[in-house]
Amino acid sequence: MASPYRALFAAPGTLGFSAAGLLGRMPLAMMGVGVLTMITELTGRYGLAGLLTGTLALSAAVLGPQVSRLVDRYGQRRVLRPATLVSVVAAGALLVCAEKGLPDWTLFVCTAGAGCVPSLGAMTRARWAEILRGRPQELHTAYSLESIVDEVCFIVGPPLSIGLSTMWFPAAGPLLSGVFLLVGVWWLTAQRATEPAPHPVGTHAGARTSALRSPGLQVLVVAFVATGAIFGGVDVVTVAFAEEQGHKTASSLVLAVYAGGSCLAGAVFGTLRLKGAPARRWLLGVCAMSVSMIPLQLAGNLPLLAVALFVAGLAIAPTMVTTMALVEAHVPRGKLTEGMTWTGTGLAVGVALGTSTSGWVVAEHGASAGYAVPGVAGVLAAVVAFLGYRRLSRPVPTREGQREQQDPEQSDRLERLERSER
């Protein structure tokens, strides 16, 4: 491991909560595809499986930010354990209902409850932000590490979940996903020394409002809806394209190459000492993701597609890392976990939209035409990024003890403003 990453774990407790976060984050990549595989194995009803997967994504998108908002207010341990129990019990009930062949409405009720899953990525990032406050370069490396962990989950999780459900028994994938969540959350919340202090609701006007009131966060969330549509579209169309080529099983390898490109870029990005405004880097990253969708339209076979997806993946992790830095800069410290979770919510909504839209396009016009969906989503993300750039680049006054990671030019401007006001 490169020295900047090794230096991160010099602080006591950091290796422990990072490992717990990795384990507890596996369900993010395993549960949806596990439910899809389980239902199709048990019933053969792909329509029902797709609706249940969409219900799970929608439920997580609605409930996730609310869980994180309570975490900011009451602390990780007090909130995550009850929320996890609700999710795991509901997921267990879903497995039982599916195995017993109970009515479809019971499956939807249980799936909606299973969406009460905490965002472990936001929890570990909040711990890094607390430990490395005032050390922007090290925090940049920590966010890069978290992005790598995300990609590792998406490289390992889906094949593991699908393999267990098809080779062992249908509910094996979702079952293991629930075990990972339970163990990861209990392990993380047992580490009290690195847990960020809660921020109880105050009496001032902004204390009870959502982090989503931040104009900068609004831009990031909307852009992430379009970005999620890129990811959802790429996943579905790549599977369909591989099937048309007569090598459906190779689709998982091609998608692993996509995630591998992001993983590599994130590892390198974390070692760089960056200068300039984060908003400018974010805009360039979103535009790079958009442009990288063009070669996918031209790939005529799986090897060329794998190369194009590897190149496309190089833009993902750096953009995600910069997004987390911007969230920290634009959201009060007392709402940081909620703010980070909102970006994940935007991503989840986008994935659901991209998956459903690309599935329809593939069914009507074929797999090759399906890559137009992530292409259009990339253009929309770039448009949002350009329109919202001024909001993100605008200096944000320090509030609730928060100190943003700004470039030197912005910091000097803020200091002069504060001196003039005094």
Identify the residue with better confidence: 92 or 401: 92
Q: What is the pLDDT of residue 110?
A: 93
Residue tagged 């998608």 (tokens): 255
Domains 14-194 and 212-396+403-417 share a fold: yes
Domain definitions of the chain by residue range: 14-194, 212-396+403-417
Picking from 102-106, 169-173, 220-224, 308-312, which range would have the lowest pLDDT averaged per residue? 169-173
8 Å CB contact between 88 and 181: yes
In this prediction, residue 417 has a pLDDT band, given cuts at 50, 70 and 90, of: very low
Query: In the predicted model, is pLDDT for residue 208 greater than 70?
Result: no
Query: In the predicted model, is pLDDT for residue 411 greater than 60?
Result: no
State which of 56-70, 132-146, 280-294, 356-370 shows the largest mean pLDDT.
Answer: 280-294
pLDDT, mean of residues 13-42 = 85
In this prediction, residue 226 has a pLDDT band, given cuts at 50, 70 and 90, of: very high
Q: What is the pLDDT of residue 395?
A: 59
In this prediction, residue 202 has a pLDDT band, given cuts at 50, 70 and 90, of: low
8 Å CB contact between 201 and 73: yes
Instruction: Indicate the burial class of 303 (C-beta count within 10 angstroms; 0-12, 13-18, 19 or more).
Output: exposed
The pLDDT tens digits of the residues spanning 386-399 come to: 998 888 877 555 44
Tell me how many degrees the CA angle 179-120-145 measures, rounded to the nearest 5: 115
Class of domain 212-396+403-417 as given by CATH: mainly alpha
Q: What is the pLDDT of residue 413?
A: 41
- Residue 339 in tokens: 């703010």
Q: What is the pLDDT of residue 407?
A: 42
3-state secondary structure 126-148: HHHHHHCCCCHHHHHHHHHHHHH
> Cβ contacts of residue 304 below 8 Å, gap of 6+?
298
pTM of the model: 0.75
pLDDT, mean of residues 411-416 = 43
Summarize the chain as % helix, strand, coil (round to 5).
Answer: 80, 0, 20
The pLDDT tens digits of the residues spanning 319-363 come to: 988 888 888 888 887 788 788 888 888 887 887 788 777 777 877
Per CATH, domain 14-194 is 3.30.70.360: no
Mean pLDDT score across all residues of the chain = 81
The pLDDT tens digits of the residues spanning 155-189 come to: 777 777 777 887 888 888 889 999 999 999 999 99
Residue tagged 């993100």 (tokens): 392
Query: In the predicted model, is pLDDT for residue 203 greater than 60?
Result: no
For the chain, give the number of residues.
422
